[in-house]
A and B are shown apart, each in its own frame.
Chain A
């Protein structure tokens, strides 16, 4: 990532916490001294529909939307949504995907199939691919809702921003009684990305 601005596309399904995750990232990077912009769509799209949030940081950011083909990190909270935005990636980009599936209506109705073997399809075309068992890890820690904190932990590993700043910002959004659980969720998330 040597260009001026870093582009992260967060994608998922209504109710998964996509917007919260990108809110947290924008605060972290503002505190770390960057210009930040982000953009998403609320409203109609929220009733179980597609949710995306474009998040950008750098020295000076103009557009709140990422140009197609210039996503540095595709941060997918669900498999199909990861595949849907695949083409927005830069050839040098990374994908960080939650190993989780939510059926769209046509699949529930038995009219279409949920695309098969999404991780394999992506891996066959893209080397920088990280599949995280965010939902599973969160469940093991005691609350499925902590999945997005696991994922934030994982993505935090890609940047040189101090992890205390990440944690402080995340915990600010959460009631004290779940702080301990989310601390664990964050550090387990970080552990999912190997040092290399």
Chain B
């Protein structure tokens, strides 16, 4: 049977057909839909959102020791978090097959960096497969399990945004029963990396690596397509498809396995064609390794950018050079950009409005709330990786001493806090920081599309489970008196934040406001608010909340004056179809020009 599938759906299908028993992940674009698909479609597989990628990988390691086929999925930077177990997992190897799926994000559509995770395969001395479309994504996952078990190694499969979130036609097959029995089997010398045992395993992986190189030479997914012999292209993954699109008649060495590389096959290809180009996205990974083998390609990263993703246009331009003729533009004027924005009614907006007013330094973190760095809010001042807000704020406070007192805030989302914020908060308590830490608890993982986590009270399949209490956790970590606030009540939000900033002891504030898109958290939304156009003086105070429902509109003639005769250039307008009625704008307007349609104004919502 044929089906249209995204790369992520095909990876999930591959796991199902390979008989995977345990799959674990932490959400992260562009990898998230792999586990979501497994949870929805393949009930045979145990699936979980783990608190972070390190835990996810460790769960699959345990499952593999017990003989099960297991899969861990994460975005590229997730592998950094999981790198500690991963480097030594390579030594330990597997019992049931283990595949780590890394989804890289060239062009940074939704990421903090653009790292190329092919380097991890080389670093950890494990094989890496790289599909170039959905069908291969499914095939390479299944193959990954065979290779994993045959060579006693974890296997990496690398996807990128244009594989994970692209769709193509996939041929479906039936699931198989994996060969390894599931049982408790003790093999201490293999699984316990004491120095004496690990030395033995290091020698093993060096020898395993030689066998993997031989495999790469025979592997049919590394294939030559000899057409026009004047130009040969070595490529892998999505770059291969771009090249085939623009140069269907050239010859190709298409690598399905990007580590280790098949030296003999590459040599043969160099003999068969006149000049060789290496086309790859991001780093010159293939190029450097192929040059190190002694081969001399005609071109590589001198012709194609390292930064950003490739596309058919850039590939054609790189190869044709001066002969390339770009299409003529029809239209050249600059257009207003359309950056992503916090939703109308978003619970983060109230806290950000107050932080802006208090002019503090806000050490930020990763999630929807990072968008608070954009105008008009302009409140997030830093952010590198998940969890870094708290350590960053604490370190600044220690460096600044008296100078920074009352001015340093760390903000972190609920999912991010549980992923990597618990240890730094422990540090704040333990080493007595004056930094004020705010958990923006919107009861979901917003940015990646609303996944459950250990403080939502639900599992990936919607079963009820234990829900972490942030106040209790904060106390256990050394914060004596964690506070809560309602972020849609600006008076309360400002008062609580000010009080905590003034304190000389570690502070933790939990801003409790569910993501407005999380339907189940709300009994009902409120009626949309309205601007009284006779009163609005056009001061833009509400406009500067950055709510997408509010716009500033210029007025002329009769309209350029309020009912009581004040001059104005424009007025605010609320698009009622977009407004869930959070009443933030109502609270900031000093001219009573914003009208609540409720019997009594409600600061926030009736939540369930």
Complex contacts, A67 vs chain B, CB 8 Å: 245-246, 311-313, 316
Within 109-164 of A, Cβ neighbours of B (below 8 Å) are at: 109-110, 112-115, 121, 125-126, 144
B82 within 8 A of A: no
- For A87, the closest partner residue in chain B by CB is B329
Q: How far is the CA of A109 from the CA of B244 in the complex (A)?
A: 45
Q: How far is the CA of A151 from the CA of B352 in the complex (A)?
A: 39
Q: How far is the CA of A126 from the CA of B554 in the complex (A)?
A: 32
Complex contacts, B162 vs chain A, CB 8 Å: 39, 64-65
Complex contacts, B168 vs chain A, CB 8 Å: 36-37, 61, 64
**Which one of B195-203, B336-344, B528-536, B599-607 contacts A?**
B336-344
Structural contact, B167 and A37, CB atoms closer than 8 A: yes
Structural contact, A115 and B166, CB atoms closer than 8 A: no
Q: How far is the CA of A35 from the CA of B577 in the complex (A)?
A: 39
Complex contacts, B246 vs chain A, CB 8 Å: 67
- For B311, the closest partner residue in chain A by CB is A65
Within 272-288 of B, Cβ neighbours of A (below 8 Å) are at: none
B331 within 8 A of A: yes
Pick the contact of A63: B245, B546, B552 (CB < 8 A).
B245
Complex contacts, A14 vs chain B, CB 8 Å: 340
A84 within 8 A of B: yes
B587 within 8 A of A: no
Interface size class of A (residues with CB under 8 A): 35 or more
Tell me, rounded to whole Å, the shortest Cβ–Cβ distance linking A32 to chain B.
Answer: 13
Complex contacts, B342 vs chain A, CB 8 Å: 47
A44 within 8 A of B: yes
Complex contacts, A49 vs chain B, CB 8 Å: 338-341
Tell me, rounded to whole Å, the shortest Cβ–Cβ distance linking B530 to chain A.
Answer: 17
Structural contact, B109 and A44, CB atoms closer than 8 A: yes
Complex contacts, B81 vs chain A, CB 8 Å: none
**Which one of A99-107, A171-179, A183-191 contacts B?**
A99-107
Pick the contact of A69: B166, B326, B374 (CB < 8 A).
B326
B557 within 8 A of A: no
B330 within 8 A of A: yes
- For A48, the closest partner residue in chain B by CB is B341
B110 within 8 A of A: yes
- For A126, the closest partner residue in chain B by CB is B330
Q: How far is the CA of A27 from the CA of B342 in the complex (A)?
A: 33
- For A80, the closest partner residue in chain B by CB is B335
Structural contact, A47 and B546, CB atoms closer than 8 A: no
Structural contact, B330 and A87, CB atoms closer than 8 A: yes
Structural contact, A43 and B339, CB atoms closer than 8 A: no
Complex contacts, B577 vs chain A, CB 8 Å: 144
Tell me, rounded to whole Å, the shortest Cβ–Cβ distance linking A135 to chain B.
Answer: 11
Pick the contact of B330: A44, A65, A80, A89 (CB < 8 A).
A89
A38 within 8 A of B: yes
B457 within 8 A of A: no
Q: How far is the CA of A120 from the CA of B244 in the complex (A)?
A: 38
Q: How far is the CA of A190 from the CA of B343 in the complex (A)?
A: 34
Tell me, rounded to whole Å, the shortest Cβ–Cβ distance linking B11 to chain A.
Answer: 15
Structural contact, A39 and B165, CB atoms closer than 8 A: yes
Structural contact, B544 and A37, CB atoms closer than 8 A: no
Pick the contact of B543: A36, A86, A110 (CB < 8 A).
A110
Structural contact, A87 and B327, CB atoms closer than 8 A: yes
Q: How far is the CA of A23 from the CA of B553 in the complex (A)?
A: 37
Complex contacts, B351 vs chain A, CB 8 Å: none
- For A19, the closest partner residue in chain B by CB is B165
Interface string of B354-370 (1 = CB under 8 A from A): 00000000000000100
Structural contact, B540 and A110, CB atoms closer than 8 A: yes
Pick the contact of A125: B167, B244, B331 (CB < 8 A).
B331
Q: How far is the CA of A45 from the CA of B331 in the complex (A)?
A: 24
- For B132, the closest partner residue in chain A by CB is A62
B586 within 8 A of A: no
A83 within 8 A of B: yes
Structural contact, A43 and B2, CB atoms closer than 8 A: no
Tell me, rounded to whole Å, the shortest Cβ–Cβ distance linking B558 to chain A.
Answer: 20
Structural contact, B554 and A110, CB atoms closer than 8 A: yes
Q: How far is the CA of A45 from the CA of B29 in the complex (A)?
A: 11
Interface string of B562-578 (1 = CB under 8 A from A): 00000000100000010
Complex contacts, B169 vs chain A, CB 8 Å: 30, 35-36
B30 within 8 A of A: yes
Structural contact, A26 and B548, CB atoms closer than 8 A: no
Tell me, rounded to whole Å, the shortest Cβ–Cβ distance linking B309 to chain A.
Answer: 9
A42 within 8 A of B: yes
Given A43-B30, A109-B375, also A68-B551 (CB < 8 A)? no
Tell me, rounded to whole Å, the shortest Cβ–Cβ distance linking B170 to chain A.
Answer: 11
B267 within 8 A of A: no
B444 within 8 A of A: no
Structural contact, A80 and B336, CB atoms closer than 8 A: yes
Pick the contact of A43: B244, B316, B449, B551 (CB < 8 A).
B449
Q: How far is the CA of A30 from the CA of B1 in the complex (A)?
A: 13
B448 within 8 A of A: yes
A181 within 8 A of B: no
Q: How far is the CA of A84 from the CA of B551 in the complex (A)?
A: 21
Pick the contact of A68: B244, B327, B340 (CB < 8 A).
B327
Complex contacts, B343 vs chain A, CB 8 Å: 47-48
Q: How far is the CA of A21 from the CA of B227 in the complex (A)?
A: 38
Structural contact, B110 and A45, CB atoms closer than 8 A: yes
Q: How far is the CA of A47 from the CA of B372 in the complex (A)?
A: 13
Complex contacts, A87 vs chain B, CB 8 Å: 327, 329-331
Q: How far is the CA of A125 from the CA of B30 in the complex (A)?
A: 38
When A and B form their complex, which 9 residue pairs have the shortest distance between CB atoms, in order from nearest?
Answer: A69-B327, A43-B110, A43-B29, A110-B552, A47-B340, A49-B340, A44-B110, A64-B166, A39-B166
- What is the interface of chain B, defined by CB distance below 8 A to chain A? 2, 4, 29-30, 33, 109-110, 133, 161-162, 165-169, 238, 241-242, 244-246, 248, 311-313, 316, 326-327, 329-331, 333, 335-343, 368, 371, 374-376, 447-449, 540, 543-544, 546, 548, 550-554, 570, 577
5 contacts between A and B (CB under 8 A): A47-B371, A87-B329, A105-B375, A108-B552, A113-B336
Instruction: Please name 4 further chain A to chain B contacts, defined as beta carbons within 8 Å, in addition to the given A39-B166, A42-B449, A105-B339, sorted by A numbering.
Output: A38-B166, A39-B162, A43-B110, A64-B168
